[in-house]
Amino acid sequence: MKPTKLRWILFVLTIAGSAAVTAPQSAAQDTDKPAAAQASPAAAAPEGDYVGTEVCVTCHADQQKSFVHTIMGNAMAHPRTELDKLGCEACHGPGKAHVEAGGGKDTIPVRFTKDSTTPVEERNAACLSCHTKGNQMFWRGSPHESRAMACVDCHRVHYGSPAQRYAELASVDSRYGTPLTEHVGTKLPQPELCLQCHQMRRAQLQRSSHMPYREGKVTCTSCHNPHGSPNPSQLLQSSINENCISCHTERRGPFLWEHPPVMENCVNCHEPHGSSNPQLLKVRMPRVCDSCHDSSRHPTQPQPLGSIKNFNRGCTNCHSSIHGSNHPSGNAFLR
């Protein structure tokens, strides 16, 4: 075959291949609308368009090196599904056109880097082709999905090895501790990762009254699922109280004498992300109690500064069982 003909054939194949893989992509490129049932490019592509990981690594040895010891790299090295067996192309799409074009970013069906032109929903679809269970089950329709966030906005796949990444993350930011986790594929450790966008929470974590977030004993995902949950505020549990009570189980009750605002919503009185007031209170005592209790005598007094209702534990100097009492004489939460 003459070289000219070969070039023409490669050219035609490249164009056809590129068109095949970019047609659906360009149609969606004008928006980043989340797809309700987007199939991954890999799963959707004809079988003949795959070249295999062995071909990819002939040029992309560095990428291979940064992937092979990751959790995904190891999982794909022991494939259980057809998708696993596709290796690089399971996420990046079929590589035939890319190979035939002799390389080039534009011929990679799905790219995840910062300069990627692949629409978010296609990038996410590549992840969701496997990650459909567990924490990711409610990704569709979640607030982060609705705001066209890509999985790779938070996650990194080519991170070397868990140990390397662990060491890197530990030195990224020494301002916050982070609980031990096997998930090292995030771009930053928690809570720093979440605080990049949720800056108000960053401010609240600095408060004098706080749960052990800064110390790395509790973190954002201790209460929230950023991938979406059917519950309010993407909480892990069905309600705010169930969330709080999952750690503070002693306050679950049922109690003989219950304080209804407590049983209905802990955040009626507390600010879980941090407060300048003692005990994470939204407003310090006695005003937090005065807000509701307008009966007679001492609950209705403004209270001078030196009052026992004011200093130390405030109202709970006496009404210490305020979260509920099981004492037969505990109707005023004194016992």
Partner 1 sequence: MKIAGTKCLPLMLTLLLAPIALFSQNKDNDQAAPVAGVVEMGSRWSWGDVYGRPDLPFDPSLKTSKYNEYRDLRDGFFIPRVRLTMDDIAGSKYFLDVQSNNAIYRDQSYLATFGAWNRFRVQFRYDEIPHTYTNTARTPYTQTAPGVLTIPLLTRNSLQALAASPLLPSTIQTQLVPSMNFIVPAIERRAGTFMFAYDLTPDWDLLASYSREHETGTRPLGLIFNSSPSAALSGGYGAEVPEPIDYFNNLVRVRAEYVRKRWAIQIGYTGSFFQNNRNALFFDNPFRTTDCVAPVGCTAATQGPARGEVDLYPDNHAHYINVAGTLLLMKHLRLLFSINAGWLRQDDPFVPYTTNTLLLAGTGPLPASSLHGEKQTLAMNYKLIQSLGKKFEIKAGYRQYDYNNDTPVLSFTPVEGDSGAASLTSPEENTPFGYNRKNVEVTGNWYYAKKSSVKVGYEGEIMDRSNRDVEHSTENGFVAAIDSAPRKDLSFRVSYRYSARNPEQYQDDQAAETAGGITNDQIFSRRFDEATRTRNRGDAEIQYSPTDRLSFSGFAGTLQDNFNHQGGVNSPTPLNFIAGTSYPYYLYGVLKDLSYNAGFDSDFSLTNAITLFAEYSYERYYKAMASRYRVPGGATPLPLDCSAAGHGCDSANNDWGSTARDYVHIFAVGWDTHFSKKTDLDTYYTLSAAKGNVDSRPFGNPTLLTGPDKFLLTGTNAAVDYPETVSRNHQVVAVFRYKVTNNLTSKVEYRYQQFDSKDYQTSAMTPYMGCVSPLPPGAPVPGCTSPLLGTPSPFYPYFLVGDTSAARYLFLGADQPSYRAHYLAATVEYHF
- Shorter beta-carbon distance to partner 1: residue 13 or 318: 318
- Shorter beta-carbon distance to partner 1: residue 28 or 157: 28
Q: Verify cis geometry, omega within 30 degrees of 0, for the bond prior to 191.
A: yes
- Among 26, 58, 233, 301, which residue interacts with partner 1 (rule: CB under 8 A)? 301
Q: Which string of x and - marks every residue 135-164 that binds partner 1 (by CB under 8 A)?
A: --xx-xx----xxx------------xxxx
CB of 103 to partner 1, least distance (A): 22
Residue 301: what residue type? Q
31 binds partner 1 (CB under 8 A): yes
CB 50 within 8 A of CB 95: yes
- Among 58, 113, 206, 233, which residue interacts with partner 1 (rule: CB under 8 A)? 206
Ranges within 261-300 binding partner 1 (CB under 8 A): 261, 263-265, 268, 276-278, 282-285, 287, 290-292, 294-298, 300
- State whether residue 41 is helix, strand or coil: helix
* C-alpha span between 17 and 4 (Å, rounded): 20
Residues 271-303 as b/e (b if ≥16 CB within 10 A, e otherwise) read bbbbbebeebbeeebbbbbbeeeeeeeeeeeeb
- Shorter beta-carbon distance to partner 1: residue 14 or 40: 40
Q: Is 211 left (phi over 0), alpha (psi -120 to 50) or beta?
A: beta
For residue 329, what are the contacts with CB-CB under 8 A and spacing of at least 6? Answer: 335
Size of the site for partner 1 (CB under 8 A): 129
167 binds partner 1 (CB under 8 A): yes
* Listed ranges 13-21, 48-56, 71-79, 89-97: which one lies at the site for partner 1 (CB under 8 A): 71-79
Angle at 287 between CA 283 and CA 291, to 5 degrees: 100
- Among 116, 207, 224, 272, which residue interacts with partner 1 (rule: CB under 8 A)? 207
Transcribe 138-200 into DSSP letters. T-TT-HHHHTT--HHHHB-S--S-HHHHHHHHHHH-SSSB----S---BSS-TTHHHHTT-HH
Owner of token pair 């075959």: 1
254 binds partner 1 (CB under 8 A): yes
CB of 11 to partner 1, least distance (A): 30
Nearest by Cα to 261 from 224, 288, 236:
288
Transcribe 254-280 into DSSP letters. --SB--HHHHH-GGGTB-TT-BSSGGG
Ranges within 100-129 binding partner 1 (CB under 8 A): 119-120
CB of 271 to partner 1, least distance (A): 9
For residue 16, what are the contacts with CB-CB under 8 A and spacing of at least 6? Answer: none
CB of 91 to partner 1, least distance (A): 16
* C-alpha span between 48 and 287 (Å, rounded): 72
* Listed ranges 101-109, 185-193, 219-227, 259-267: which one lies at the site for partner 1 (CB under 8 A): 259-267
Ranges within 209-238 binding partner 1 (CB under 8 A): 212, 215-217, 230-232, 238
- Among 2, 36, 46, 48, which residue interacts with partner 1 (rule: CB under 8 A)? 36
257 binds partner 1 (CB under 8 A): yes
69 binds partner 1 (CB under 8 A): yes
Phi, psi (5° rounding) for residue 266? Answer: -60, -35
CB of 316 to partner 1, least distance (A): 6
- Among 10, 15, 79, 113, which residue interacts with partner 1 (rule: CB under 8 A)? 79
